[in-house]
Chain A
Amino acid sequence: MDEVIRMDHISRYFVVGDSVVKALDNVSLSVERGEFLGIMGPSGSGKSTMMNLIGCLDTPTDGHILIGGEDTGSLSESELAYIRNRRIGFVFQQFNLLGRLNALDNVITPLLYSGMGVGERRERAMHALERVGLAERMKHRPNELSGGQKQRVAIARAIVTEPDIILADEPTGALDTHTGNQIMDLFRSLHQEGNTIVIVTHNDEIGRACPRLVKIRDGRIEGGED
Chain B
Amino acid sequence: MFFENIKLAFKSMLANKMRSILSLLGIVIGVGSVVAILTLGASAAGSITASLESGGIDTISLTATPTAKNYDTFDERLGQRLMENVEGIEAVIGISSSRIRIRNGKIIKTNNVYGVSSDYHTINNYNVAEGSWFTSDQNIQRSQVVVLGSSIAKSLFPDGDAVGSSISLFRSQGSKSFTVIGVMEKKDSSFTASYNDSLYIPYNTFTQRIQNVSYVGNYVIKVADGYNAVTVSDNISAFLNRLVGSDSFFVFSQANLSEIASSITGTFGTFLAAIAGISLLVGGIGIMNIMLVSVAERTKEIGIRKALGASPKVIRGQFITEAIVLTMVGGLVGIALGSGISFLVCRLVDWSFSISIKSYVISVGFSTFIGLFFGWYPAKKAAMLDPIEALNYE
Interface residues of A (CB under 8 A from B): 52, 55, 57-58, 77-78, 81-82, 84-86, 90, 92, 96-98, 100, 109-110, 112-115, 157, 161
Inside 8 A of B15's CB, which chain A residues have their CB? Answer: 100
Given contacts A100-B12, A112-B4, contact A84 B307 (CB under 8 A): yes
Distance in angstroms from B149 CB to nearest chain A CB is 73
Inter-chain contact A86/B309, CB cutoff 8 Å? yes
Which chain B positions have C-beta within 8 A of A98?
301, 304-305
**Do A85 and B308 have beta carbons less than 8 Å apart?**
yes
> For the complex, is B311 an interface residue (Cβ under 8 Å from A)?
yes
Per the bound structure, the CA–CA distance linking A57 and B310 in Å amounts to 12
Knowing A57-B388, A58-B388, A115-B1, the reply to whether A78 touches B311 (Cβ < 8 A) is: yes
Contacts of A58 in B (CB 8 A): 388
A172 to chain B: closest CB distance in Å?
A: 19
* B308 lies within 8 A of A57 (CB): no
Output the least CB separation between B15 and chain A (Å).
Answer: 6
For the complex, what is the distance from the CA of A114 to the CA of B387, rounded to whole Å?
Answer: 18
Does A57 contact B387, Cβ atoms closer than 8 Å?
yes
Task: Please indicate the chain B residues that have their CB under 8 angstroms from the CB of A92 in the complex.
Answer: 391
Chain B residues whose CB sits within 8 angstroms of the CB of A113 once the complex forms? 305, 308-311, 314
In the complex with contacts A96-B391, A112-B1, A115-B1, A157-B308 CB distance below 8 A: yes
Query: What would 26 A/B residue contacts be, using CB atoms closer than 8 Å?
Result: A55-B307, A57-B388, A57-B391, A78-B312, A78-B313, A81-B309, A81-B310, A81-B314, A82-B309, A82-B311, A84-B308, A86-B309, A90-B307, A96-B300, A96-B304, A97-B304, A98-B305, A100-B11, A100-B12, A109-B308, A113-B305, A113-B309, A113-B310, A113-B311, A113-B314, A161-B309
**Which residues of chain A are near B309, meaning CB under 8 Å?**
81-82, 84-86, 110, 113-114, 161
How many Cβ-Cβ contacts under 8 Å join chain A to chain B?
Answer: 60
User: Footprint of A on B, CB under 8 Å?
Assistant: 1, 4, 11-12, 15, 300-301, 303-314, 387-388, 391
Interface hub of B300, B307, B387 (most chain A Cβ within 10 A) = B307
Give chain A residues whose Cβ lies under 8 Å from the Cβ of B303: 96
Closest residue to B305 on the A side, CB-wise?
A109
Which chain B residues lie closer than 8 Å to A77 at the CB level? 311-312
B311 touching A110 by the CB < 8 A rule? no
Complex Cα gap A81–B313 (Å): 10
For the complex, give the distance between the alpha carbons of A32 and B301 in Å: 32
> In the docked arrangement, what's the CA distance between A85 and B307, Å?
8
In the assembled complex, how far is the CB of residue B314 from the closest CB belonging to chain A, in whole angstroms? 6
**When chains A and B are docked, how far (Å) is the Cα of A112 from the Cα of B1?**
7
Report Cα–Cα, A49/B11, bound state, in Å. Answer: 35
